[in-house]
């Protein structure tokens, strides 16, 4: 009973926040309701290893909500999803962030999330809202694209590729490193890009040509980009074309000391496909209010404007501003390739199996 | 009356010495593993029934490749390690302890680090596939052979082969007919352990095998973690467990023979400095070859940690003090966490493993079988799937009163599981070597069993426990497979931090990963060197 009252009081405070009441009023309100001792004092965000939040942004959430934000990173995106499915109904946290649009159906089928429709979704473009029942809320998007090493091509007087077709041509033999779609989310996205481009009847032939052209397939983005690709700053790799992100060139600039004037890598705009990252409230959470607050926060301008430089992805909220480094160095593909989510859902596992037979066996 | 009490207290003591390790194993190994296997077998798989999984040609290929690569890796490891084992078992030379310590470094390094070092060292044409896997496995496991066989060799009486030589046998014949039969139990025990490690090897195969090569363990990982088909994963985990149980059983029997044959001479009586240019060339050649093989990948790690743009510097090390987006702690805190976790894991492993060792070594003739069984059981965590164990912890310890899955102490508990078998193997042989007459004399003089233990066994075992502590520490420090599932993000360990940095773009992050790997290497070298200080000829074979 007492817990109920406390939560109601809490709810009032949250509503106050939504109405834009000043911070200290909420703080006072919370203190006034406090003393119950049963109110959850923290909210746990389960996410993948690539999740990054700036300290001051995290602090803003903690101060505004009065909740400590605990971040539980549990591996790469696929691993996190599997672990969440393993504990569905008795979760290790309150909110899961980082389900990729291409794997969304796995989460939905596993009955992982509780529906929540944030009011802030009004500010989010329809094309990112992939679940009409709002079990999963879009938070950011990124484009998976071919990247190439500018220096490598300049030194050899060879034009960098500018289409997917180019990769199957003789001058580009042995130059591409891609990720295994069975084990990597950018790998899966790139496979879907080729299916979107060449269709159900043509993609296998395209990959046969890539195979003949000596494509190198590795398990994960880390290895493809940091080890095999010649253009990354850790670059000892020998392959000048890699499946990465549209924002990778900006990362190459920001993480290099001294910062170069021009991004050392380029993006093949024709090859891009969109990935949306979503978050959801884990079914069975003991802190549903806090979880909803956290989802709202992930859609707030403060967080949305933090994602480009912390995770190298784009905000989904329309009025979020991009940082200058992003405006200057990151590439925004004008119209990326797309596949209808229903089609992905119905065929994903079969496509990956077929790809494995065509390319690896 | 007194006798009755003594008997009672002996029983109580024995129950504790057997009971606590077994209870620990049941709670933190068997229970989570059974939980995940049960859930997996009950769930509906994407790939059909258990029979479908087992008869799938892909599964058959995977099992065959697993056995093949483990056998080939074991053979390669033996071939590369035996010259050094011989040199260490026969000659005294300056820096011998250092060599023994350095050889051990790869064995306790996290696989992610080593796999990346190999990717950097090998030319692209060799790096993907069988050869890379075999070479990296040999790199890891040379220590097992050098330490087990070298130590055993150093206890063999050289006069036996000298006698053979006097009787006209050439060096090859004397080796084949005298030394080899004597060495056989050590060789077999070392080979069995290497086979076990390579059979269940995960990080190396995952990274160096790439998408085209898969062992049972990496396939379990694919099914459970990447595809979330727990059914197929459970079936494969059972197949792997069956193999592991068989290998552990064989290894334990072979080690029992080691103990019987363990009437070793003191090293001081056996070792002598190399004489003449041939012996010196032999020592220099085999150690030099090994140094090159083991040193090159490690040197590449150091070199990479110092690379800044096109030049060299300490930027990556300086950057360790800064907080980064990749970790919820500064990298230096990860170093500290690792040390604390490893210390806790060492304490647990010494308590549990020490008790088990006392129980096993103290067992009379009729109890040897029971002791051996306990030892074999405690070895199983070395070969069980780390992936399934990690998953098992998550679902087994999820409700009160055993809601442990997010507790920080669960990390050292998992690390201790891997360290305990080494503690048992180091401490038990030392205790077996204690002359029973000492204990009997004390008992005759009226000392109760507890006091006998305190005043006879413990002081003698002290040094062995010191050695075991160093090993447990180094192994816990490098443990990655299960830790990565359970370590909390605000308190990562060194290997987890290295793994996280490797997964991020940018020169600084990669540099930090290499710098942390070098720091980990230094801590490992130091603890292993300390071990060498404490080591005596009595302290087991590892």
Q: Please indicate if any CB of chain A lies within 8 Å of the CB of B337.
A: no
Flag whether pLDDT at B340 surpasses 90: yes
B107 touches B145 (CB < 8 A): no
Please tell me the least confidently modeled range out of B334-343, B355-364, B500-509, B530-539: B530-539
The domains of chain A, with CATH numbers, are 2-140+276-315 (3.40.190.10), 143-275+323-360 (3.40.190.10)
Name the minimum distance, in Å, from the CA of B306 to any CA of chain A. Answer: 12
Residue whose entry in the numeric block shows the structure tokens 């085999």: B286
| Residue bearing the bigger pLDDT, B485 or B375 | B375
Here the ipTM equals 0.71
Which residues on chain B are in Cβ contact (under 8 Å) with A251? Answer: 505-506
pLDDT at position A33, please?
40
pLDDT band at B20 (very low <50, low <70, confident <90, very high): very high
Closest to A42 measured CA to CA, from A16, A2, A71: A71
Flag whether pLDDT at B499 surpasses 70: yes
pLDDT at position A31, please?
39
Please tell me the least confidently modeled range out of B2-16, B202-216, B219-233: B2-16
Mean pLDDT, rounded, for B281-287: 89
Name the minimum distance, in Å, from the CA of A347 to any CA of chain B. Answer: 14
Question: Is A222–B502 a contact, with Cβ atoms under 8 angstroms apart?
Answer: yes
Q: Tell me, rounded to whole angstroms, the distance of Cα A225 from its chain centroid.
A: 17
B342 touches B410 (CB < 8 A): no
Largest CA distance in chain A: 75
Flag whether pLDDT at B35 surpasses 90: yes
Q: Which two tokens stand for residue A230?
A: 């010649």
A60 touches A302 (CB < 8 A): yes
Please tell me the least confidently modeled range out of A218-222, A338-342, B278-282, B434-438: B434-438
Q: Which of A233-237, B372-376, B401-405 has the highest mean predicted lDDT (pLDDT)?
A: B372-376
**If you measure CA to CA, which chain B residue comes closest to A184?**
B226
pLDDT at position A164, please?
95
Closest to A77 measured CA to CA, from A248, A278, A356, A290: A278
A178 touches A224 (CB < 8 A): yes
pLDDT at position A158, please?
94
B247 touches B195 (CB < 8 A): yes
For A340, the 3-state DSSP assignment is coil
pLDDT at position B264, please?
61
d(C-alpha A34, C-alpha B209), whole Å: 56
Which positions 17-46 of A are in contact with B (Cβ < 8 Å)? none
- Asked if residue A223 has a cis previous peptide bond (ω within 30° of 0), the answer is no
| Residue bearing the bigger pLDDT, B122 or A239 | A239
Which residue among A225, A257, A360 sits closest to B212, beta carbon to beta carbon? A360
pLDDT band at B344 (very low <50, low <70, confident <90, very high): very high
Which residues on chain B are in Cβ contact (under 8 Å) with A71? Answer: 328, 489-490
Flag whether pLDDT at B184 surpasses 90: no
Please tell me the least confidently modeled range out of A127-141, B1-15, B234-248, B417-431: B1-15
Q: Which two tokens stand for residue B360?
A: 């096993």
Which positions 122-161 of A are in contact with B (Cβ < 8 Å)? none
DSSP state of A286: S
Flag whether pLDDT at B94 surpasses 80: yes
DSSP letters, B177-198, are: IIIHHHHHHHHHHHHHHHHHHH
For A98, the 3-state DSSP assignment is strand
For A301, the 3-state DSSP assignment is helix
Which residue among B226, B228, B489 sits closest to A72, beta carbon to beta carbon? B489
Q: What are phi and psi of A245, to 5 degrees?
A: -120, 160
Question: Is A85–B228 a contact, with Cβ atoms under 8 angstroms apart?
Answer: yes
Q: Kindly state the percentage of chain B with pLDDT values over 90.
A: 18
pLDDT values of chain A reduced to their tens digit, one per residue, 361 residues: 343 333 344 444 334 433 443 433 333 333 334 334 467 889 999 998 778 888 899 999 999 999 999 888 777 788 889 989 988 998 889 999 999 898 898 899 889 999 999 999 999 998 899 999 999 999 999 999 999 999 999 999 999 999 999 999 999 999 999 999 987 889 999 999 999 999 999 999 999 999 999 999 987 787 788 878 998 876 668 899 999 999 899 888 887 777 888 889 999 999 999 999 999 999 999 999 999 999 999 999 999 999 998 888 999 999 999 988 888 888 778 889 988 878 888 888 889 878 988 888 7
Which residue among B211, B391, B394 sits closest to A218, beta carbon to beta carbon? B211
B394 touches A83 (CB < 8 A): yes
pLDDT tens per residue, range B439-464: 778 778 887 777 777 777 777 777 77
Which residue among A76, A86, A255 sits closest to B508, beta carbon to beta carbon? A255
Which residue among A219, A248, A349 sits closest to B505, beta carbon to beta carbon? A248
Largest CA distance in chain B: 81
- Terminal-to-terminal C-alpha distance of chain A: 62
pLDDT at position A6, please?
38
Which positions 120-139 of B are in contact with A (Cβ < 8 Å)? 120, 124, 128
pLDDT band at B125 (very low <50, low <70, confident <90, very high): low
Question: Is A79–B119 a contact, with Cβ atoms under 8 angstroms apart?
Answer: no
DSSP state of A260: P
pLDDT at position A268, please?
94
Flag whether pLDDT at B375 surpasses 90: no
Q: Which two tokens stand for residue A275?
A: 């990935």
Question: Is B224–A217 a contact, with Cβ atoms under 8 angstroms apart?
Answer: no
Closest to B496 measured CA to CA, from B477, B476, B480: B480
The domains of chain B, with CATH numbers, are 43-297 (1.10.3720.10), 313-542 (1.10.3720.10)
d(C-alpha A217, C-alpha A211), whole Å: 9
State which H helix or E strand residue B311 sits in: strand B311-312
Question: Is A252–B506 a contact, with Cβ atoms under 8 angstroms apart?
Answer: yes
pLDDT tens per residue, range B130-154: 889 999 999 999 988 998 888 888 8
B158 touches B216 (CB < 8 A): no
Please tell me the least confidently modeled range out of A112-116, B206-210, B322-326, B394-398: B322-326
d(C-alpha A327, C-alpha B69), whole Å: 50
Q: Which two tokens stand for residue B204?
A: 């190396």
Closest to B183 measured CA to CA, from B155, B159, B141, B163: B155
Question: Is A218–B484 a contact, with Cβ atoms under 8 angstroms apart?
Answer: no
């Amino acid at each position: 009973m007492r817990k109920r009252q406390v939560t109601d009081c809490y709810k009032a405070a949250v509503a106050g926040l939504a109405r834009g009441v000043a911070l200290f009023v909420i703080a006072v309100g919370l203190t006034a309701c406090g003393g119950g001792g049963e109110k959850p004092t923290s909210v746990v965000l389960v996410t993948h290893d690539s999740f990054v939040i700036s300290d001051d942004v995290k602090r803003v959430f903690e101060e505004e909500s009065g909740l400590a934000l605990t971040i539980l990173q549990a591996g790469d995106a696929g691993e996190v999803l599997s672990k969440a499915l393993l504990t569905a109904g008795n979760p290790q946290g309150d909110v899961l962030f980082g389900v990729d649009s291409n794997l969304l159906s796995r989460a939905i089928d596993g009955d992982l999330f509780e529906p929540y429709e944030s009011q802030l979704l009004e500010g989010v473009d329809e094309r990112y809202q992939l679940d009409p029942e709002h079990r999963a809320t879009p938070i950011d998007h990124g484009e998976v694209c071919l990247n190439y090493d500018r220096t490598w091509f300049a030194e050899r007087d060879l034009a960098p590729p500018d289409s997917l077709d180019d990769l199957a041509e003789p001058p580009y033999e042995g130059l591409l490193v891609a990720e295994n779609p069975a084990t990597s989310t950018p790998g899966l996205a790139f496979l879907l890009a080729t299916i979107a481009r060449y269709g159900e009847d043509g993609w296998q032939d395209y990959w046969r040509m890539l195979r003949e052209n000596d494509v190198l397939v590795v398990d994960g983005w880390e290895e493809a980009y940091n080890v095999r690709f010649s253009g990354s700053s850790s670059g000892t790799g020998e392959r000048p074309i890699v499946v990465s992100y549209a924002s990778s060139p900006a990362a190459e600039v920001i993480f290099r000391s001294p910062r170069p004037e021009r991004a050392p890598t380029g993006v093949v705009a024709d090859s891009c496909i969109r990935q949306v990252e979503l978050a959801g409230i884990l079914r069975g959470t003991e802190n549903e209010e806090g979880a909803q607050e956290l989802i709202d926060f992930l859609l707030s301008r403060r967080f949305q404007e933090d994602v480009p430089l912390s995770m190298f992805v784009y905000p989904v909220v329309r009025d979020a501003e991009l940082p200058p480094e992003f405006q200057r160095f990151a590439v925004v593909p004008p119209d990326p390739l797309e596949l209808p989510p229903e089609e992905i859902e119905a065929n994903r596992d079969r496509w990956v199996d077929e790809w494995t037979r065509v390319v690896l066996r | 009356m007194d006798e009755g009490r003594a008997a009672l207290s002996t029983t109580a003591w024995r129950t504790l010495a057997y009971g606590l390790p077994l209870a620990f194993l049941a709670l933190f190994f068997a229970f989570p593993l059974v939980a995940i296997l049960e859930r997996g077998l009950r769930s509906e798989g994407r790939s059909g029934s258990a029979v479908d999984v087992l008869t799938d040609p892909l599964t058959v290929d995977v099992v065959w490749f697993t056995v093949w690569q483990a056998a080939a890796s074991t053979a390669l490891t033996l071939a590369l390690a035996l010259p050094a084992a011989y040199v260490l078992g026969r000659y005294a030379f300056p820096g011998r302890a250092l060599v023994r310590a350095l050889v051990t470094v790869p064995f306790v390094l996290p696989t992610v680090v080593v796999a990346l070092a190999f990717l950097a060292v090998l030319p692209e044409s060799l790096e993907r596939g069988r050869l890379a896997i075999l070479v990296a496995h040999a790199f890891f496991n040379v220590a097992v052979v050098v330490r087990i066989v070298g130590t055993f060799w150093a206890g063999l009486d050289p006069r036996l082969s000298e006698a053979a030589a006097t009787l006209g046998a050439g060096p090859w014949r004397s080796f084949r007919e005298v030394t080899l039969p004597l060495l056989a139990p050590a060789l077999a025990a070392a080979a069995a352990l290497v086979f076990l490690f390579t059979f269940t090897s995960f990080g190396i195969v995952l990274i160096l095998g790439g998408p085209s090569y898969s062992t049972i363990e990496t396939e379990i990982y694919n099914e459970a973690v990447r595809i979330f088909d727990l059914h197929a994963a459970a079936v494969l985990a059972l197949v792997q467990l069956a193999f592991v149980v068989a290998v552990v059983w064989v290894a334990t029997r072979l080690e029992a023979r080691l103990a019987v044959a363990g009437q070793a001479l003191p090293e001081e009586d056996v070792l002598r400095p190399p004489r003449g240019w041939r012996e010196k060339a032999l020592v220099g050649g085999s150690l030099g070859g090994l140094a090159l093989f083991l040193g090159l990948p490690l040197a590449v790690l150091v070199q990479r940690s110092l690379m800044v743009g096109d030049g060299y510097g300490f930027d990556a090390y300086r950057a360790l003090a800064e907080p980064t987006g990749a970790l919820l702690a500064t990298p230096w805190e990860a170093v500290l966490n690792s040390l604390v976790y490893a210390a806790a894991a060492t304490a647990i492993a010494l308590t549990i493993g020490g008790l088990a060792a006392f129980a096993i070594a103290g067992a009379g003739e009729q109890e040897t079988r029971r002791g051996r069984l306990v030892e074999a059981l405690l070895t199983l965590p070395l070969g069980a799937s780390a992936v399934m164990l990690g998953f098992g912890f998550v679902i087994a310890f999820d409700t009160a009163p055993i809601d442990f899955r997010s507790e920080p102490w669960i990390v050292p508990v998992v690390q201790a599981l891997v360290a305990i078998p080494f503690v048992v193997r180091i401490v038990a042989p030392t205790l077996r070597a204690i002359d029973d007459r000492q204990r009997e004399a004390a008992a005759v003089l009226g000392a109760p069993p507890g006091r006998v233990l305190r005043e006879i066994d413990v002081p003698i075992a002290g040094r062995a426990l010191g050695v075991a502590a160093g090993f447990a520490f180094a192994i816990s420090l490098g443990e990655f497979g299960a830790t990565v599932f359970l370590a909390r993000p605000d308190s990562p360990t060194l290997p987890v931090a290295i793994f996280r940095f490797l997964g991020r773009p940018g020169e600084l992050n990669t540099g930090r990963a290499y710098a942390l790997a070098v720091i980990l290497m230094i801590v490992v070298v130091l603890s292993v060197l300390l071990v060498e200080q404490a080591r005596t000829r009595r302290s087991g074979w590892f």
